[in-house]
A and B are shown apart, each in its own frame.
Chain A
């Protein structure tokens, strides 16, 4: 069958064929202004401090040799994590795009939950499964297959597994949305023309999905590349990545020159990766939009049921087990027995939830879970609004880019590939004095979150917008629709699933407190992750139980919010 590359029009949103540079500039203003002010300006300030110190000879010995060793490991683990995440995520994306099954909506919403959990909690979840006294090792030892427990924590395997756990939802949703938009008749046509199932997939479906796969893969890689908590907690002290080194140099050793140097190294790598993935994606861009056909259906044959069920079971095992662990602990009172697991008695209790609402120590600034949830919700809603407002115009431009747009794209995505510590310190320096004395404003929290969420919107929407055939826009325009109407009635409905998915990610990024917020100073605005950390940093079973209860609330809260965002979506019907 014929594959036609998308016509690269000069204007995306307005559909004007004549040079529409004016509109392009107008469309670029918000995103460029936002990223420039809140990302590049602080980044430049902190890098300048570091470089100046080096030039003035004030810097201590810069650890160049070890920096490159650390860089090597950082790239290695990120690449490996990314490949594994794709291997798990793509079958999942296929399942969600092509089949209807019970609880599908709930599971789709819930799939984003791992993305937001504090690493400390995830580590505890994995530990209860895979640790030396975890259920799996206990079971294996009971059967006598192994003598000593298989080590899990502080291995490369733990890092990889946690990265897959965290980031599979990116693949599931980004690629899943593209797969849903695919016109299934394309594959059917190939089959009619004599292609086998596999050939049809390889020659038709895969090329059409490739832009979204690359978009997801590059996001996953960047997340793994700048991973911090997973390396620190699950990898343990013998693994180090650039992000961890930057944190130690900047915040523990106050060696800004070294931190700046490492940051520059990290930024160069991120930029290279973004540019390469963008170039690859461009080579493969093709238009394909579904026109009012529901591609998802119930599995028809026994074979299909088995396939769907086995993919689902694998995903559930990987994702639900570590999540179930904190949830169970929040409801179970474990009587610390004689220091042995066998001596533990457990009983059901709601006490930890009750205790969350009770200010036992009479602490000032005490916040109930409801207040924290309210703060989290406020920050997340603001983040989603910002990210869409700045991201949609940028993604629309980038879906039909000129040369200049292409040059701008990596600069928009860079915040994801930059150390949160570096960025946070930069914000601290430039926003703590006039004219922009904003560092103590709670509004800085969604601003910092938006920098991380924005790339999701751009990378998630670009393939969606690019995949809309020019014919549809032309037809609408010929029938008398204004460019704005074309956009509202044709482009937006087709891309709606991707828009909602991006919004959900922006929301989740904020709920999970990603990035620079941990580094900027915190006015009295406690969010749920902050509450969890606060409880976890104190001894006593009651505090631990409360931390698990708060985690469980955060999970439910996130799933509910994402469901709410995506619930009322029906595939667009052609007018």
Chain B
């Protein structure tokens, strides 16, 4: 490297040496920065602890004690990959099925089940625990997707509001279109919200594929409000939440009142809300798990699925994820027994039928509600 003599320092004689700091600074340094940060983790050596990865939606949660139990029993670490809402997470699993990001997927529900099976994202696994799970939840005879939990999307109502207005709560879907309930219901857009889609499916199950459009027309003319997602509906529009909105009825979950009790502030003896449990007013969601096709750790993947069906994890589900366990031996928490009664007649549709007509029904809904 040579440098120029002082008297030659006009800008016409600039040598590389002079510019070296700048060259380094502007090109090499950023790349070093990046390389240092983005270096992928080294491949684990055989002596290291193995890791089993669970791909799931953002609502997944597990207690510390259950996690420790799993890791102690298997000697493996559990990594959780949260991948958006239920639909987005499944679609990411489908997009990466050539090179799966995880060993097990949890959180595909009955509205997406047919698509997941059709795309072939799961390997078959006939768990010995399946026999003890009621048949009504085992929707995949091929045992690629195994039921883990279930819950109902129901309308929650503001108990104080109905008491203060001396109004009886609606006993059926048909009641919601009556004059005395004008403008009192907020629902979510099925295009952007999973409970919104579930409630739409409940109306399809109840009124039939040819009758539900007219029903939504009557809801619309009765002042039903549509918002994008659950958070807005519940925390802005619903009168029983802190939003103190205008609608005393919201499409939510049958377990929401139990959470309103557990997380009441200040504490209350009873939750401020309850669910409408009339015939076919609620839609039953069942969540499945499956071993991702192409996993290189089939043994650990099986152990993880077994764990998801075990009593330990099944008893974890209600308070962590606000769903009901499919394992009949699992004991429910007291708040669930008291404040989260299940509907006697939830609306049910076959996964194949949902898969075949979902878009069509959503577009019919859009034509009625958003035109």
**Residues of A with Cβ closer than 8 Å to B?**
13-18, 23, 26-27, 29-30, 33-34, 120, 123-124, 127, 131-133, 153-154, 232-233, 236-238, 247-248, 250-254, 329, 333-341, 344, 351, 359, 361-366, 382, 385-386, 389-390, 392-393, 425, 428-429, 432-433, 436-441, 443-444, 446-447, 474, 477-478, 480, 482-484, 487, 518-519, 521-524, 533-534, 536-545
Closest to A543 in B: B263
CA gap between A137 and B260 in the complex, in Å = 29
CA gap between A336 and B161 in the complex, in Å = 11
Which one of B5-13, B124-132, B136-144, B146-154 is at the interface? B5-13
In the complex the two chains form, is B14's CB within 8 Å of A483's CB?
yes
In the complex the two chains form, is A30's CB within 8 Å of B191's CB?
no
In the complex the two chains form, is B80's CB within 8 Å of A524's CB?
yes
In the complex the two chains form, is A362's CB within 8 Å of B63's CB?
yes
Contacts of B33 in A (CB 8 A): 385-386, 389
Minimum CB–CB distance from A289 to chain B (whole Å) comes to: 19
In the complex the two chains form, is A13's CB within 8 Å of B22's CB?
yes
In the complex the two chains form, is A537's CB within 8 Å of B231's CB?
yes
Contacts of B96 in A (CB 8 A): 428-429, 432
In the complex the two chains form, is B26's CB within 8 Å of A237's CB?
no
Contacts of A533 in B (CB 8 A): 58
CA gap between A133 and B242 in the complex, in Å = 12
Q: A365-B80, A432-B101, A446-B37 are in contact. Are A338 and B164 (CB under 8 A)?
A: yes
Contacts of B27 in A (CB 8 A): 26-27, 29-30, 393
Q: A333-B266, A540-B260 are in contact. Are A363 and B64 (CB under 8 A)?
A: yes
CA gap between A481 and B76 in the complex, in Å = 61
Minimum CB–CB distance from A354 to chain B (whole Å) comes to: 12
Question: At the interface, yes or no: B224 with Cβ under 8 Å from chain A?
Answer: no
Question: At the interface, yes or no: B331 with Cβ under 8 Å from chain A?
Answer: no
CA gap between A477 and B9 in the complex, in Å = 8
In the complex the two chains form, is B19's CB within 8 Å of A483's CB?
yes
Q: A123-B236, A541-B263 are in contact. Are A339 and B248 (CB under 8 A)?
A: yes
Question: At the interface, yes or no: B349 with Cβ under 8 Å from chain A?
Answer: no
Q: Which of A120, A359, A389 has the most CB of B within 10 A?
A: A389
Question: At the interface, yes or no: B370 with Cβ under 8 Å from chain A?
Answer: yes
Q: A364-B64, A534-B58 are in contact. Are A437 and B40 (CB under 8 A)?
A: yes
Contacts of B87 in A (CB 8 A): 251-252
In the complex the two chains form, is A536's CB within 8 Å of B235's CB?
yes
Interface hits, B315-371 → A, CB 8 Å: 319-320, 322, 359, 369-370
In the complex the two chains form, is A478's CB within 8 Å of B242's CB?
no
Minimum CB–CB distance from B317 to chain A (whole Å) comes to: 12
Minimum CB–CB distance from B349 to chain A (whole Å) comes to: 18
CA gap between A518 and B80 in the complex, in Å = 16
In the complex the two chains form, is B259's CB within 8 Å of A540's CB?
yes
Contacts of A339 in B (CB 8 A): 158, 160-161, 164, 239-240, 244, 248
CA gap between A444 and B29 in the complex, in Å = 19
Contacts of B242 in A (CB 8 A): 329, 334, 336, 541, 544-545
CA gap between A441 and B81 in the complex, in Å = 11
Minimum CB–CB distance from B266 to chain A (whole Å) comes to: 6
In the complex the two chains form, is B94's CB within 8 Å of A254's CB?
yes
Contacts of B276 in A (CB 8 A): none
In the complex the two chains form, is B232's CB within 8 Å of A361's CB?
no
Interface hits, B241-258 → A, CB 8 Å: 241-246, 248, 252-253, 256
Contact of B65 among A29, A362, A484 (CB under 8 A): A362
In the complex the two chains form, is B95's CB within 8 Å of A340's CB?
no
Closest to A421 in B: B88
Closest to B37 in A: A443
Contact of A251 among B6, B59, B91 (CB under 8 A): B91
In the complex the two chains form, is A237's CB within 8 Å of B189's CB?
yes
In the complex the two chains form, is A433's CB within 8 Å of B98's CB?
yes
Closest to B268 in A: A336
Question: At the interface, yes or no: B67 with Cβ under 8 Å from chain A?
Answer: yes
Q: A233-B229, A254-B115, A537-B59 are in contact. Are A521 and B82 (CB under 8 A)?
A: yes
Minimum CB–CB distance from A60 to chain B (whole Å) comes to: 8
In the complex the two chains form, is A428's CB within 8 Å of B95's CB?
yes
Contacts of A437 in B (CB 8 A): 40, 99
Q: B222-236 vs A: 1/0 string, CB under 8 Å?
A: 000011111110111
In the complex the two chains form, is A237's CB within 8 Å of B244's CB?
no
Contacts of A248 in B (CB 8 A): 191-192
4 nearest CB pairs, A to B: A540-B263, A339-B161, A389-B30, A393-B26
CA gap between A524 and B77 in the complex, in Å = 13
In the complex the two chains form, is A425's CB within 8 Å of B31's CB?
no
Q: A14-B14, A26-B27, A124-B236 are in contact. Are A544 and B22 (CB under 8 A)?
A: no
In the complex the two chains form, is A127's CB within 8 Å of B243's CB?
yes
Q: A254-B94, A437-B40, A446-B37 are in contact. Are A484 and B232 (CB under 8 A)?
A: no
In the complex the two chains form, is A538's CB within 8 Å of B232's CB?
no
CA gap between A236 and B163 in the complex, in Å = 31
Minimum CB–CB distance from A490 to chain B (whole Å) comes to: 13
Q: A339-B160, A440-B101, A539-B263 are in contact. Are A14 and B84 (CB under 8 A)?
A: no
Closest to A525 in B: B82
CA gap between A103 and B238 in the complex, in Å = 39
Contacts of B232 in A (CB 8 A): 120, 123, 233
